[in-house]
Structure 1
Amino acid sequence: MRFPLSQPTLGKEESDNVRDAMTSGWISGTGPYVSAFERALEQITGRASATAVSSGTTALELVLSALGVGPGDEVVVPALTFAAPAAAVLTVGAVPVLCDIDPGTWTIDPDAAGDLLTPRTKAVIAVDLMGHPCDYERLAELEVPIVEDAAQAHGARTGKGPAGGFGIASIFSFHVNKAITTGEGGAVLTDDPELADRVRLLAHHGMKESSRYHHSVAGRNGRMTNLSAAIGTAQAGRWDELVAGRAEVGRRYDAHLAGHGFTPRPKQPWASPSCWLYCVTAPERDAAVERARRGGVDARAIWPALSDLPLYREYAPRPCVHASRVSSTAMWLPTWSHMPEEDVAAVAEALR
């Protein structure tokens, strides 16, 4: 494709850091860049503790395990999201309960989530979908642990603080298509010291650093490598620049597509969403995607609603009509930080 869906924005500092890590020989799942990246994430989000891990999905699994979620438990998950939250619930042996979205935010509907709570509910995973924060004030009224999935929301905010700072714990993804990337990678953030210790223990094979090879629990290897963190440390230093770069791409798309039948995703006045991948809806979405792709543009239909997939359909106790509607009309356009204006214009022209 002439215009890929996304691409990383890497520079000299990322290369220098990786070269330094390689020269030191410290390239595995511990090292000074891992610690530096974790401290940077704490400063950016205001969280007390960050644990860098191998992926956003691993981060979700670790949080659920650290909260004691397991067989017989239920976790409420939005029906419109990448599959990782629901898959993480199944991985720890629990049952995902799919919930419809609020059409004004495309994030989990707090009222619908409240109707799905049972004595077996152990948590709600709230996904900041495509960079729009969830309504955490209303979710807090549910009085169950909220796990914020901020994988797509680098740089987003509400009046109460930055994405990554909500819930009993939050997670980030640093996959290559995110504004801040480590190639593959993730992080768990929390203000609860006991939960932080539990996450770190589980991610390090159930070993404490002070008692190597003495396994107190059955853990896993969920660690981020020092090489990945070397990239992440440089990216974190450019956090505001990279987030602002994608926001500018979103504003340019808005201008180019206005009046041509494409509707930008909704946002609420109490939120300052970030631009992960620029997203619009179109009444003939599939035809628009095909037209763009013929022009060399890697436009894509968004994920289907989980409630419409055979694998997850049984976990939707009620119809998820809003999730299904959005999933059938929304599409992504190529987006990356500092995407040239002529590229944005060419993509828009291919769509028009």
Structure 2
Amino acid sequence: MEQPNLIPLDEPFVGQAEKDNLVEAIESGWISALGPFVEKFEKDFAKYHDVKCARSCFSGTSALIMAMRVLKIGPGDEVIIPALTFSADAFAVSLAGAKVVFADCSPNRFTLSPADVKNKITEKTKAVIPTHLYGRPAEINELKKICEDNKIYLIEDCAQAQGAEYKGKKVGSFGDFNIHSFHNKLIATGEGGMITTNNEELAERFKLLINPAPMNVTDLAEVSINQRMSNLHAAVGLAQLDRLEQTIAKKLKMAEAYDREFKNAEGLTIIPANPEDRTVYWRYTIILEPSINRLEFIEETKKNGFITREAYNPLHKHPFYQADNKLSLPQAEYIREHALDIPSSIKLNEEQIIFIAKKIVEIAKKLKK
């Protein structure tokens, strides 16, 4: 059990605008999915990403699950995903009855390797799901070309990357169908998700599949399930979207301070952001030298008043998938063994950021063998 009063990895900011929107939504009587904040949130989210359509839903996970149905992915199909990602990407594919195919990260990146994707495409491959992990854009142009050349779907997982840009263009605008999460992310609504697409037909199918009782529809043609976002969640989301650029500016300022403090540190390195992209640092991550025991490092940071956490365990190493995978994915496995997420909240002040950074440098020097 974690000690109380430790500086957390992240902490959402909820301000007066969110409170005002919630009061307005409650007083209007529209608290379910049929409310004006839902429509406004979707419209503004689409405009922000420069796409034709955005449709809200209950969570990023529900967006992934329903994406499989929208794109008619099922038994006999294969979907390539990064091994280093949140479990929902794999679970959505498995729940659809399709086969999960794991691929490695690119060297010196946390994101899906286009070269490994190319090697793993078969005649059964139906889609590729790159994750913009920790707010770092994947090599999306290369992945998009691979998908177009092979006539397969590109589904961007933007859960951790609202506002991130690849070569000047927002992530979530490249793929055929893209998912977003608002659970303690750069936009935080408690629970919530969104899809973005330029395909109006896919957007309409998604809307029907998450709504089991659409108005003015008397003959249901397909099984659907309630996965809608409420007007209350959308009210919070709209306020957070309006403030997203301010949130990102604070994340970038935090990252600049960490970069500066870690530049010549002993025992650790960082993977620098690509200068052509905009990384939004949902989480700031360091790489420890192999001689440092990461679990010992985590305990030392707790003693100094803040939390650090291991990177995701690559999904091909989880028991549910391990039996079918004798894979070696060295980049993802190295990140798991040596990477740590450190406090990345926009609530951190400059004094706290410098304190955390200096303590990390001290601990790394102390534990380096």
- Please indicate the TM-score interval, normalised by the length of the shorter structure: over 0.9
Q: Give 1:249 deviation, angstroms.
A: 1.2
Q: Give 1:235 deviation, angstroms.
A: 0.6
Query: 1:97 & 1:258 partners in 2: Cα distance?
Result: 37
Query: 2:219 & 2:227 partners in 1: Cα distance?
Result: 17
CA contact (8 A) 2:316 2:327 kept: no
Could you tell me the TM-score, scaled by structure 2's length? 0.91
AA partner of residue 51 (structure 2): R
From the superposition, tell whether residues 187 and 315 of structure 1 become closer, same or farther in structure 2 (CA, over 3 Å).
Answer: farther
Task: Indicate yes or no: 2:23 matched with 1:14.
Answer: no
Query: 1:293 & 1:312 partners in 2: Cα distance?
Result: 32
Residue 280 of structure 1: aligned partner: 286
AA partner of residue 204 (structure 2): D
Deviates more, 1:25-34 or 1:232-241: 25-34
Query: 1:71 & 1:194 partners in 2: Cα distance?
Result: 23
Residue 167 of structure 1: aligned partner: 175
TM-superposition CA deviations, 1:306-338 (whole Å, max 9, x none): 122222224546421111011111111111224
Could you tell me the TM-score, scaled by structure 1's length? 0.95
CA contact (8 A) 2:144 2:174 kept: no
Task: Indicate yes or no: 2:162 matched with 1:154.
Answer: yes
Query: 2:174 & 2:326 partners in 1: Cα distance?
Result: 27
SS in 1 for 2:105: coil
TM-superposition CA deviations, 1:244-289 (whole Å, max 9, x none): 1111111112223332233223433432211111111112232221
Query: 1:155 & 1:45 partners in 2: Cα distance?
Result: 8
Query: 1:214 & 1:104 partners in 2: Cα distance?
Result: 53
TM-superposition CA deviations, 1:109-161 (whole Å, max 9, x none): 11111111112111000111111111122112323211000111122112251
Gaps of 5+ in 2: 363-369
Residue 198 of structure 2: aligned partner: 191
Query: 2:225 & 2:99 partners in 1: Cα distance?
Result: 21
Residue 226 of structure 1: aligned partner: 231
SS in 1 for 2:127: strand
Equivalent residue for 1:241, pick from 242, 246, 265:
246
Residue 267 of structure 1: aligned partner: 273
AA partner of residue 253 (structure 2): E
Task: Indicate yes or no: 2:350 matched with 1:346.
Answer: no
Q: After the TM superposition, which residues 321-332 of structure 1 pair with which residues of structure 2 at under 5 Å, given as runs?
A: 321-332=330-341
Query: 1:315 & 1:20 partners in 2: Cα distance?
Result: 52
Residue 124 of structure 1: aligned partner: 128
Equivalent residue for 1:43, pick from 40, 47, 51:
47
**How many aligned residue pairs are there?**
349
AA partner of residue 202 (structure 1): L
Task: Indicate yes or no: 2:245 matched with 1:204.
Answer: no
Deviates more, 1:290-299 or 1:322-331: 290-299
Equivalent residue for 1:75, pick from 75, 79, 100:
79
CA contact (8 A) 1:291 1:350 kept: no
Equivalent residue for 2:317, pick from 294, 308, 312:
308
CA contact (8 A) 2:182 2:190 kept: yes
TM-superposition CA deviations, 1:208-229 (whole Å, max 9, x none): 4331x53221111111111111
From the superposition, tell whether residues 166 and 295 of structure 1 become closer, same or farther in structure 2 (CA, over 3 Å).
Answer: same
TM-superposition CA deviations, 1:183-204 (whole Å, max 9, x none): 1111000000111111111111
Gaps of 5+ in 1: none
Q: Give 1:105 deviation, angstroms.
A: 2.1
From the superposition, tell whether residues 10 and 70 of structure 1 become closer, same or farther in structure 2 (CA, over 3 Å).
Answer: same
Query: 2:354 & 2:167 partners in 1: Cα distance?
Result: 33
Query: 1:67 & 1:197 partners in 2: Cα distance?
Result: 12
| RMSD, aligned CA | 1.6
Residue 337 of structure 1: aligned partner: 346
AA partner of residue 186 (structure 1): G
Query: 2:46 & 2:226 partners in 1: Cα distance?
Result: 22
Query: 1:292 & 1:93 partners in 2: Cα distance?
Result: 42
